[in-house]
């Protein structure tokens, strides 16, 4: 029997920071530990080499006629710094006030341990469970999953034989209200640089003659939204699907109001576009966001220069059915068309991720060909979560991006059942990351029932 808390503490003690080569030993430790857990459950574990951190691919496949679930998680974590802001050491997990603190406790080692603990309990009770299982645990999620494309090249065919994907790498609002995530936004990344004179100029001697790159940049950036906040790029909204009533009804159950959301963020006001409320806009609407703009003097006080260049870092979050490549080109075309001749424009095309959406069974827009095991899993999840947490889940889109979820769909045909297990209190990617022990307990119980429900046992 796997003890969830002790197992999570052991897993977190391996400092598996994927972005920093100094943590190679921690990466190997976390990988080996995850392998041993999967082997205890009877999985055959394959360590798939990549250019950087291997992917663990585990199978427990007994009969091609049984339902087949793929589970996904990642064994890598974000860097722990700034270290001085942690109450206890990031890789020495400590329990305080019903939470276990440590880097990776919530993202994503805790949810993985919940899955594995639930599986271990089910398989102990039903050693001959009529369910095929695959488990993918990657080690590069925190650096954008660069090796997963190759992994799908080699393993997509085997994965495509499964029925659906089970993931817990999304969020819920608090420890009482679980969200089953129905969509993840896509992502487009680009950077523009405007270049004027060959060096910074004296704003007295030359001011008035040249087009200040910061002025032109402001004008281009300002042109990318309409006064109502909507994105002013031809074609940007062409492929956006309508929002269904059931989605708004689900959101109405969300335990946060516009007022409580505003207080949480500390903003004087909101500015959602396209007639959406702030809570709707982050879930149902695409965005074009400036993540960084800079140029000229950045220090204290004043320095009277006309800078030689200026940059803007732009990302778009895309909703279901939008195409990242198409949007990236549309945004670039708009910027190119609006760049004045008096300046030189350079563009860096960054990475992108597809949006993804899954519709639960029983909705007006549920696909007619939804696989029966996926439908059963959704139904089982609803009942099990309602029982374990005392409230049924809310079905809700999420604003963040997990491109690998769309890859599972596009490369292996698998839709996802996404059960959100972390909350805003968990401090993901920040100091004092933690995981709620009541969620751990209730979710383990819920997943036990979900798995039984999929396998058709009680």
Helix (H, G, I), strand (E, B) or coil at 147: coil
Q: What is the DSSP string of 205-221?
A: TSTTTS--HHHHHHHHH
Q: Rounded distance, CA 184 to CA 171, Å?
A: 11
Query: What is the nearest approach in angstroms of its own copies to the Cβ of residue 344?
Result: 6
Rg (CA), the chain: 24
Query: What is the nearest approach in angstroms of its own copies to the Cβ of residue 243?
Result: 13
Q: Angle at Cα 197 formed by Cα 192 and Cα 201, nearest 5°? A: 115
The smaller minimum CB distance to its own copies, of residues 276 and 375, is found at 276
The smaller minimum CB distance to its own copies, of residues 175 and 319, is found at 319
Assess 142 for contact with its own copies (CB under 8 A): no
- Positions in 244-283 near its own copies (CB under 8 A): 261, 265-273, 276, 278-279, 281-283
The smaller minimum CB distance to its own copies, of residues 309 and 448, is found at 309
Assess 206 for contact with its own copies (CB under 8 A): yes
- Positions in 399-418 near its own copies (CB under 8 A): 399-401
Q: State the burial class of residue 104 (Cβ atoms within 10 Å of its Cβ: 0-12, 13-18, 19+).
A: buried
Q: Rounded distance, CA 138 to CA 450, Å?
A: 23
Assess 176 for contact with its own copies (CB under 8 A): no
Query: What is the nearest approach in angstroms of its own copies to the Cβ of residue 290?
Result: 4
Report the residue from 42, 160, 211, 326 that binds its own copies according to the rule CB under 8 A. 211
Assess 298 for contact with its own copies (CB under 8 A): yes
Assess 185 for contact with its own copies (CB under 8 A): yes
Assess 285 for contact with its own copies (CB under 8 A): yes
The smaller minimum CB distance to its own copies, of residues 119 and 194, is found at 194
Question: Which region, judged by CB under 8 A, interacts with its own copies, from 58-66, 161-169, 304-312, 320-328?
Answer: 304-312
- Positions in 351-390 near its own copies (CB under 8 A): 351
Nearest Cα to Cα of residue 201 among 49, 86, 308, 79: 308
Report the residue from 61, 143, 293, 347 that binds its own copies according to the rule CB under 8 A. 293
Q: Rounded distance, CA 340 to CA 345, Å?
A: 9
Count the site residues for its own copies by CB under 8 A.
Answer: 83
Q: Rounded distance, CA 237 to CA 323, Å?
A: 11
- DSSP state at residue 354: -
- Positions in 220-239 near its own copies (CB under 8 A): 221-223, 225, 229
Residue 345, token pair as written in the block: 């424009």
Nearest Cα to Cα of residue 395 among 386, 403, 404: 386
What phi, psi does 346 have (nearest 5°)? -120, 140
Query: What is the nearest approach in angstroms of its own copies to the Cβ of residue 158?
Result: 31
Question: Which region, judged by CB under 8 A, interacts with its own copies, from 13-21, 24-32, 119-127, 302-310?
Answer: 302-310
Residue 169, token pair as written in the block: 């790498």
Q: Rounded distance, CA 419 to CA 403, Å?
A: 17
């Amino acid at each position: 029997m796997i003890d969830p808390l002790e197992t999570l503490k052991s897993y977190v003690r391996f400092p598996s920071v994927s972005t920093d080569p100094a943590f190679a030993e921690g990466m190997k430790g976390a990988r080996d530990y995850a392998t041993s857990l999967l082997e205890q459950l009877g999985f055959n574990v394959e360590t798939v080499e990549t250019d950087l951190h291997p992917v663990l691919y585990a199978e427990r496949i007994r009969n091609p006629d049984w339902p087949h679930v793929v589970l996904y998680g990642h064994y890598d974590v974000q860097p722990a710094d700034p270290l001085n802001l942690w109450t206890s050491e990031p890789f020495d997990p400590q329990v305080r006030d019903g939470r276990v603190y440590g880097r990776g406790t919530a993202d994503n080692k805790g949810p993985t341990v919940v899955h594995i603990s639930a599986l271990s309990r089910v398989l102990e009770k039903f050693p001959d469970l009529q369910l095929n299982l695959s488990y993918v645990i990657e080690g590069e999620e925190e650096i954008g999953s660069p090796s997963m494309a190759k992994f799908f090249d080699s393993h997509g065919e085997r994965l495509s034989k499964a029925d659906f994907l089970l993931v817990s790498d999304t969020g819920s609002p608090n420890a009482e209200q679980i969200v089953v995530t129905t969509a993840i936004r896509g992502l487009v990344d680009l950077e523009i640089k405007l270049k004027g004179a060959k060096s910074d100029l004296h704003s007295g001697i030359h001011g008035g003659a040249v087009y200040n790159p910061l002025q032109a940049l402001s004008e281009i950036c300002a042109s990318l939204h309409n006064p109502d906040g909507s994105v002013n790029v031809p074609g940007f909204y062409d492929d956006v699907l309508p929002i269904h009533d059931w989605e708004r009804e689900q959101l109405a159950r969300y335990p946060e109001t516009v007022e409580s959301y505003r207080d949480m963020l500390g903003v004087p006001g909101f500015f959602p576009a396209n007639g959406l409320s702030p809570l709707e806009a982050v879930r149902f609407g695409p965005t074009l966001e400036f993540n960084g703009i800079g140029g000229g003097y950045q220090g204290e006080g004043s320095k009277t220069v006309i800078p030689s260049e200026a940059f803007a870092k732009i990302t778009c979050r895309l909703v279901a059915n939008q195409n990242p490549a198409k949007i990236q080109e549309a945004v670039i075309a708009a910027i190119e068309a609006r760049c004045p001749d008096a300046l030189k424009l350079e563009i860096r095309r960054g990475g992108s991720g597809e949006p993804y959406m899954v519709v639960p069974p029983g909705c007006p827009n549920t696909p007619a060909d939804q696989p029966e095991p996926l439908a059963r899993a959704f139904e089982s999840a609803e009942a099990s979560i309602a029982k374990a947490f005392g409230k049924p889940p809310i079905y809700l889109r999420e604003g963040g991006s997990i491109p690998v979820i769309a890859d599972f769909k596009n490369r292996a045909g698998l839709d996802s059942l996404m059960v959100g297990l972390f909350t805003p209190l968990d401090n993901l990617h920040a100091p004092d990351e933690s995981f709620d022990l009541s969620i751990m307990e209730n979710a383990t119980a819920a997943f036990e029932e979900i798995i039984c429900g999929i396998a058709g046992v009680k």
